[in-house]
């Protein structure tokens, strides 16, 4: 009986609203309990943080100030470029850019299932998070939201072997699909003709095709292009731009310029 | 059948075992996490087959799925089948020495994980082909400590 129930849930009713409602409802409970389990570790981290030496803190402050200055300088150029771009787009009469609204979140835990790259974020529907929204790390795209509860949500990382996203080579504009490999530091592009212009070091950015990820976020850098003599396709490996297993702070893109993406070159 | 006594110990220990799966591990080490919940379940089936059975296995499996964020019902069938086998053979397994018991547990874990892999393939959820076996051998090594802890708590609280 129960086996039958399991199998029918798995194979027939997997997308049934009641089943997903149970899964959603569990997200907050799991997040809450895991926060309790993790509390001693967090407390230990905070203790270590509070006894760091004054010198180390001053060094970090200096480093951050310098970084901030550099970033501000870049932002000035970016502002002018954005307005220039907007003018061109107005000339071309294409859709207007919508400002992306970012929600700052923290990765609170990682799913214990070793085959998946699923993480728990500490922001949920109450903060404006919705399913399908892209998640950004410090240096680029890291995943998307798959399950949302009231105060927490689960995100699937781009390296999960069930994940694939449309990308574009920044240098040549070539479009491709980057699939997760199941390794935390590797994406794979299959089915690219062996004669394609792609080299190690190329930056892959989201292409905006498919309407899920907005155009232009960095995703990965090509590390290796393997062309076996006689094969029709090259196997391209890329390393995610943002180190997926480091750092806890992420950004969820709440209002993405989804429909604008379709007119990307 | 005797009157139930201190059955809550069973559920508290199973819940504690499930909480242990929430402990953080580095991304690449997650495959070596011993499946403490399954081991605790197997222990209770072996010790009190009239209290803990297929329904408990079902509940543990569903809870595991919810914790992992996996599709519901993925871990239950394997655990239920292993529990069923254990229910048919508990008298024999009680006679085994610890090494033999550990090996029997390994077989049960392989069976339940095999069914889970098969279901995962059926609905296109990613699997870890060989890392899973390493995790099961880690689990097997944890059989003796878990059995000892649970045995002591069972005797202390006189669960029956």
Span B68-87, pLDDT tens digits: 888 888 888 999 999 999 99
How many structural domains does chain B have? 1
Please choose, from the candidates A97, A165, A170, the residue with its C-alpha nearest in 3D space to the C-alpha of residue A135.
Answer: A165
Buried b (16+ CB within 10 A) or exposed e, A16-28: eeebbeebbebbe
For position A261, what pLDDT does the model report? 44
Domain ranges in chain A are: 2-50
d(CA A79, CA A83): 6
Q: Do B66 and A109 touch (CB under 8 A)?
A: no
Residue B3 lies inside a defined structural domain of this protein: no
Between CA B59 and CA B65, with CA B64 as vertex, the angle to 5 degrees is: 100
Which range of residues forms the domain containing residue B24? 8-157
* CB-based contact A95:A263 (threshold 8 Å): yes
Residue B137 lies inside a defined structural domain of this protein: yes
**pLDDT digits over A158-186, tens only?**
999 889 999 999 888 899 999 998 888 89
**Mean pLDDT score, B92-103:** 91
Element (H, E) at A109: strand A102-110
Tell me the HSE value of A210 on the side-chain side, using a 13 A CA sphere: 17
Residue B1 lies inside a defined structural domain of this protein: no
Length of chain A measured in residues: 265
Q: Do A10 and B72 touch (CB under 8 A)?
A: yes
Residue appearing with tokens 């920044």: A170
Neighbours of B14 (CB within 10 A): 22
Higher pLDDT, B55 or A5: B55
Residue B48 has pLDDT above 60, yes or no: yes
Q: What share of chain A is helix, strand, coil (3-state, %, to 5)?
A: 35, 30, 40
The complex scores an ipTM of 0.82
For position B2, what pLDDT does the model report? 61
For position B15, what pLDDT does the model report? 93
* CB-based contact B43:B89 (threshold 8 Å): no
Residues in chain B within 8 Å Cβ distance of A9: 71-73
Residues facing residue A168 across a β-bridge: A175, A205
* CB-based contact A95:A162 (threshold 8 Å): no
Residue B80 lies inside a defined structural domain of this protein: yes
The residue of B19, B63, B69, B131 whose CB has the most chain A CBs within 10 angstroms, and thus the best one to mutate to test that interface, is: B69
3-state secondary structure of A119: strand
**CATH number of the domain encompassing residue B132:** 1.10.1760
Residue B88 has pLDDT above 60, yes or no: yes
For position A265, what pLDDT does the model report? 39
CB-based contacts of B131: which residues, under 8 Å, 6+ apart? A114, B31, B32
Mean pLDDT by 10 residues, chain A (265 residues): 75 77 85 87 84 84 92 86 81 64 88 88 90 88 91 92 91 90 89 86 89 87 87 89 84 66 42
**Mean pLDDT score, B125-144:** 83
d(CA B10, CA B59): 13
Please choose, from the candidates B42, B41, B58, B25, the residue with its C-alpha nearest in 3D space to the C-alpha of residue B131.
Answer: B25
Q: Is B71 on the interface with A (CB under 8 A)?
A: yes
Element (H, E) at A120: strand A118-121
- Quick one: CA torsion of A71, A77, A80, A81, rounded to 10 degrees? -100
Q: Do B80 and A110 touch (CB under 8 A)?
A: no
Q: Cα dist. A51→A41, A62, A73, A120, A205 in Å?
A: 16, 19, 34, 29, 41
Residues in chain A whose beta carbon is closer than 8 A to a beta carbon of chain B?
Answer: 2-3, 5-7, 9-11, 14, 19, 22-23, 26-27, 29-30, 33-34, 37-38, 41, 109-118, 146-147, 154, 160-162, 182, 184, 244-245
């Amino acid at each position: 009986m129960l086996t039958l129930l399991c199998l029918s849930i798995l194979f027939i009713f997997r997308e049934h609203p009641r089943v997903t409602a149970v899964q959603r409802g569990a997200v907050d409970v799991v997040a809450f309990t895991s926060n309790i389990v993790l509390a001693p570790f967090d407390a230990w981290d905070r203790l270590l943080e509070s006894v760091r030496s004054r010198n180390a803190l001053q060094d970090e402050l200096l480093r951050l100030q310098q970084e901030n200055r550099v970033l501000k300088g870049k932002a000035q150029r970016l502002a002018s470029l954005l307005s220039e771009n907007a003018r061109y787009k107005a000339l071309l009469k294409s859709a207007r850019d919508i400002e992306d609204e970012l929600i700052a979140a923290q990765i609170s835990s990682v799913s214990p299932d070793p085959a998946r790259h699923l993480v728990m974020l500490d922001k949920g529907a109450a903060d404006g998070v919705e399913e399908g929204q892209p998640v950004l790390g410090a240096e680029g795209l890291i995943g998307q939201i798959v399950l949302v509860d009231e105060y927490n949500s689960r995100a699937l990382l781009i390296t999960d072997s069930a994940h694939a996203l449309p990308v574009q080579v920044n240098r040549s504009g070539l479009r491709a699909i980057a699939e997760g490999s199941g390794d935390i530091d590797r994406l794979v592009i299959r089915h690219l003709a062996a004669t394609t212009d792609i080299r190690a070091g190329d930056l892959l950015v989201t292409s905006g095709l498919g309407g899920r990820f907005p155009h232009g976020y960095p995703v990965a850098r090509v590390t290796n292009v393997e062309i076996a003599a006689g094969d029709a396709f090259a196997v391209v490996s890329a390393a995610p731009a943002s180190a997926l297993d480091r750092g806890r702070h992420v950004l969820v893109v709440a209002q993405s310029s989804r429909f604008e993406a379709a007119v990307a070159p | 059948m005797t009157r139930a006594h201190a059955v809550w110990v069973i559920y508290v220990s199973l819940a504690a075992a499930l909480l242990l799966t929430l402990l953080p591990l580095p991304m690449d080490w997650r495959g070596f996490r011993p499946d403490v919940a399954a081991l605790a379940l197997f222990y209770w089936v072996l010790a009190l087959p009239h209290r803990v059975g297929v329904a408990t296995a079902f509940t543990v499996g569903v809870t595991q799925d919810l914790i992992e964020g996996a599709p519901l019902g993925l871990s239950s069938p394997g655990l239920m089948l292993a529990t069923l086998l254990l229910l048919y053979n508990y008298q024999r397994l009680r006679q085994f020495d610890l090494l033999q018991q550990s090996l029997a547990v390994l077989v049960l874990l392989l069976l339940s994980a095999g069914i889970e892999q098969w279901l995962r393939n059926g609905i296109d959820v990613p699997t870890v082909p060989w890392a899973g076996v390493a995790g099961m051998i880690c689990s097997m090594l944890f059989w003796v400590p878990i059995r000892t802890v649970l045995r002591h708590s069972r005797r202390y609280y006189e669960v029956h």
